[in-house]
Chains A and B, each alone.
Chain A
Amino acid sequence: MIELAIGIILAGCAIGAGLALIAGIGPGIGEGNAVARACEAIGRQPESKGAVTSTMIMGCAIAETTGLYGLVIGILLIFVAPNLFINAFKTALESMGKL
């Protein structure tokens, strides 16, 4: 029974990590499109290159954080959360006198 519960915890963590990593797809596409349009803008107005580059750096950093959040949550769910949840589960069982 305990093995099954631990298995469900591990599966939940793995599924959650997989779902969180989906967030990494969007920023890559969006960042690429934004930079492509910025390049076009520089091509049309070369004198605005400095301002466009500065703005793009900040914009890309903000866009990228969404992907990073997803990745960090995914990594935490894979590496850190399983031990945490299993220990909490075992502690709860011990306190109920079932372990």
Chain B
Amino acid sequence: MKVQSAVKKETAKIAVGVGLMAVLMLAVYLIIGQFRLSVLLGTLLGAAFAIGNFFLMAYSVQQAAEKMNGVQLPPEEEPEEGAEPQKTELSPQAKAGRRLMQLSYTGRLFLLVVMAGAAYLIPGIDPVPALLCQLFPRITIFIEGILLKKENQAQ
């Protein structure tokens, strides 16, 4: 299946952010005098895994969205004034999308455990920077949000 441009674009943004933050973390390790080859290898492994994990997640979202190709659902009915909106039953395609996403999440968490175990067991790799790198995508999204907000305010 072809990878959508939205997936490529978001993954590229996250990759740049994770890369910058990994360099920043290595600089901090250097400043506190803890920089070793194992830290560098741990950072490389962790950063690569964080980017790969984000890509897999984005690809799963794309696959879930593509389950709706050719499906046209009727527009949602507006609830009467004062009445509570009723929960509509999910279509089979949406249920399949939900299952796919839950399966993808479980699989990626399992991969993370495998990666952490490998980082711990392989003597030349420090597991702490490898695990810290997993928090970088969220920080990247947070910073991106702030930058977009400032941009919008400036406009």
B10–A40 contact, CB under 8 A?
no
List chain A residues, Cβ under 8 A from B99: 32
List chain A residues, Cβ under 8 A from B9: 54
B137–A53 contact, CB under 8 A?
no
List chain B residues, Cβ under 8 A from A24: 109
A53 to chain B, nearest CB (A): 5
Q: How far is the CA of A65 from the CA of B141 in the complex (A)?
A: 11
Knowing A71-B113, A79-B120, say if A40 contacts B91 (CB, 8 Å). yes
Is A46 engaged at the interface, CB distance under 8 Å to the other chain? yes
Interface of B is mostly: helix
Knowing A28-B102, A50-B6, say if A44 contacts B76 (CB, 8 Å). yes
B141–A43 contact, CB under 8 A?
no
Interchain residue pairs with CB less than 8 A apart (21): A28-B106, A29-B102, A31-B102, A32-B102, A35-B101, A39-B97, A40-B90, A42-B68, A43-B68, A43-B73, A44-B73, A44-B75, A56-B61, A56-B65, A60-B61, A61-B58, A62-B138, A68-B135, A69-B135, A71-B113, A76-B131
A interface, CB within 8 angstroms of B: 24, 27-29, 31-33, 35-40, 42-44, 46, 49-50, 52-54, 56-58, 60-62, 64-65, 67-69, 71-72, 75-76, 79-80
